């Protein structure tokens, strides 16, 4: 099943580069992480590949995700760009290749890039394929296209201030996995008084509370961290169980606050 194929907790690598990224990956692998998330746009695939190469964890034990940027969505260019990613990552194939953003203004027809993504899977460049930042309507359209049946996830922004409920429900209804990025709302979670107070009840940090809240919903999370203590705490968060009343408190903080909202973003679900 699709849900079982993506490890529950991954290491996000957005904004991490060089020695800092290398160290973060090695610490994470030492602690037992087996899921690394990168993207062409992060400009760090070479470092991710080198870090995995240098570590003694067997390559086939690490679930590796990358994402194809929206300027490489034409059929031939998508396949070429994914081959370039695979080469930079020093692997034969990635475990998951995602369309990072739907084509801005539908400049490239969705049929073209969903078809190319399926072809990439067929060619062995990716074991699994999916999308990121797709609205409910876009996901429905993609799934109805040739090749759309292969999609296993929609990676979207989810945190207490943007619960993204409509998208989550649509992804789950389709039998796909939700992957949450920015689960800590770029640190805002740690500053929220309600979450700080609630976390004390569970002898946890607000960050752990958030990861547990998402994990409880069967949502894959990919927080980034460079500190061993935080990486450890993130793993431990998966053992927490939050009571229903407290889940309601967390979800009452939703204010539609979207952090990743570039000018080429789709018309979001409200």
Active site residues: 42
Burial, 190: exposed, middle or buried (Cβ in 10 Å; 0-12, 13-18, 19+)?
middle
Question: Please, which residues have CB within 8 angstroms of residue 27's CB and are 6 or more apart in sequence?
Answer: 226, 228, 231
* Inter-residue contact 259 to 161 (CB < 8 Å): no
- Give all strands of the β-sheet with 151-157 in edge-to-edge order: 11-12, 35-37, 63-68, 94-99, 126-132, 151-157, 177-181, 220-221
Token pair of 138 as six digits = 């876009």
Closest CA to 154 of 163, 37, 172: 172
Between β-strands 63-68 and 151-157, what pairing exists: parallel, antiparallel or unpaired?
unpaired
Closest CA to 260 of 161, 171, 193: 161
């Amino acid at each position: 099943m699709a849900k079982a194929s993506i490890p529950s907790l991954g290491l996000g690598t957005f904004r991490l580069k060089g020695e800092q990224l290398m160290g973060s990956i090695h610490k994470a692998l030492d602690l037992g992480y087996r899921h690394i998330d990168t993207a062409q746009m992060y400009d760090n695939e070479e470092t991710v590949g080198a870090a995995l190469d240098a570590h003694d964890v067997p390559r086939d034990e690490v679930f590796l995700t990358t994402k194809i940027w929206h300027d490489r969505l034409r059929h031939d260019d998508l396949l070429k760009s994914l081959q370039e990613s695979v080469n930079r990552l020093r692997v034969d194939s990635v475990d998951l290749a995602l369309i990072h953003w739907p084509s801005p203004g539908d400049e490239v027809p969705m049929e073209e890039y969903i078809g190319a993504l399926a072809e990439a899977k067929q060619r062995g460049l990716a074991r699994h394929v999916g999308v990121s930042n797709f609205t409910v309507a876009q996901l429905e359209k993609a799934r109805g296209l040739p090749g759309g049946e292969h999609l296993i996830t929609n990676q979207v922004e989810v945190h207490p201030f943007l619960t993204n409920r409509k998208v989550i429900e649509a992804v789950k209804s389709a039998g796909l996995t939700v992957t949450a990025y920015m689960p800590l709302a770029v640190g805002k979670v740690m500053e929220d008084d309600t979450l700080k107070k609630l976390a004390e009840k569970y002898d946890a940090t607000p960050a752990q509370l958030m990861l547990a809240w998402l994990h409880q919903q069967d949502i894959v999370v990919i927080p980034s961290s460079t500190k061993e203590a935080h990486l450890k705490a993130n793993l431990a968060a998966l053992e927490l169980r939050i009571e229903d009343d407290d889940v309601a408190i967390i979800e009452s903080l939703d204010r539609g606050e979207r952090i990743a909202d570039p000018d080429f973003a789709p018309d979001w679900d409200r």
